[in-house]
Amino acid sequence: MTARPAPLVCWRAVPASDLLFSKWGDDVVVFHPASGLTHLVNGPAALLLCRVLARPRTLDVAAQALAAGSAQKDEHFVTEVAALIERLEELGLVERIAG
């Protein structure tokens, strides 16, 4: 994304029932049957897919949820979350919903 998306844009993950997860310790492997792709995901990505984006959320709310319990979120953190969501969207794991 070259610019921050309009605030009312929401993101939603593919329903968890459409994904297969395998967890070993902190490592999560996700299989997406529709695409046939397998992803080794980091903590934040796994949280986005399983929990945070289970219902439509704006970027700010999603970043807030990921930052919860750790350091205060800042603009840089939000940009990183935005990039992660964009990548997940390109992979077809997350979809954009117009506000």
Partner 1 sequence: MVEPIDGTAIARSWVLDALRDPGAVPVLPPTELDLTLRLVRRARLLGRLGWRLREAGRLETLPQVIADQLRSALAISEARSRSARWELNRLAWALEDLHGVSLVALKGVAYLLARTPNAAGRLFADVDLLVPDADLPAVEARLLERGWICKELTPYDENYYRRWTHELPPMRHVEREVEVDLHHSILMRTARLKPAPALLFEAARKVPGSRYMVLAPVDMVLHAIVHLFYGGEMDGSLRELVDIDDLLRHFAAEEPGFWEQFWPRAEALDLLRPAYYGVHFARTLLGTPVPASVIAASHAYKPAAPTLWLMERLVPEALFPQLLDAPSWRAALARLMLYVRSHWVKMPAPMLARHLACKLYLRHMAQSAT
Partner 2 sequence: MTAVISSRIGDLSPTEVSCRLRGRGLGIRIGPFDVCVKASVQDFDEPFRRLYREYPIVEAGQVFSCHVSLRDVWKLRPRLGRYVRFAVDGRVPHEDLPSEQALAVFEWGLNLVIALRMQCFLMLHAAVLERNGRALALPAAPGSGKTTLSAALAERGWRLLSDEFGLLRPGTTSFLPVPRPMPLKNESIGVMQAFAPGLELGPIIPKTRKGTVAHVRPPADSVLRQHELAPVRWLVFPEWRAEEVLSLQEVPSAEGFMRLVTNAFNYDMLGKAGFETVRDLVNASRCFRLSYSSLNAAVAKVTDLADKDFG
Residues that bind partner 1 (CB under 8 A): 33-36, 89-90, 92, 95
The rounded distance, in Å, linking the Cα atoms of 68 and 31 is 27
Among 6, 38, 55, 96, binds partner 2 (CB under 8 A): 38
Q: Which is nearer to partner 1, 1 or 68 (CB)?
A: 1
Q: Which is nearer to partner 2, 7 or 33 (CB)?
A: 33
Q: Min. distance of Cβ 81 from partner 1 in angstroms?
A: 20
Q: Which is nearer to partner 1, 60 or 89 (CB)?
A: 89
- Pairs from 5-9 (Cβ < 8 Å, separation ≥ 24): 5/59, 5/82, 6/99, 7/58, 7/59, 7/60, 7/99, 8/58, 8/98, 8/99, 9/58, 9/59, 9/96, 9/97, 9/98, 9/99
Among 2, 8, 15, 36, binds partner 2 (CB under 8 A): 36
Among 2, 3, 17, 24, binds partner 2 (CB under 8 A): 24
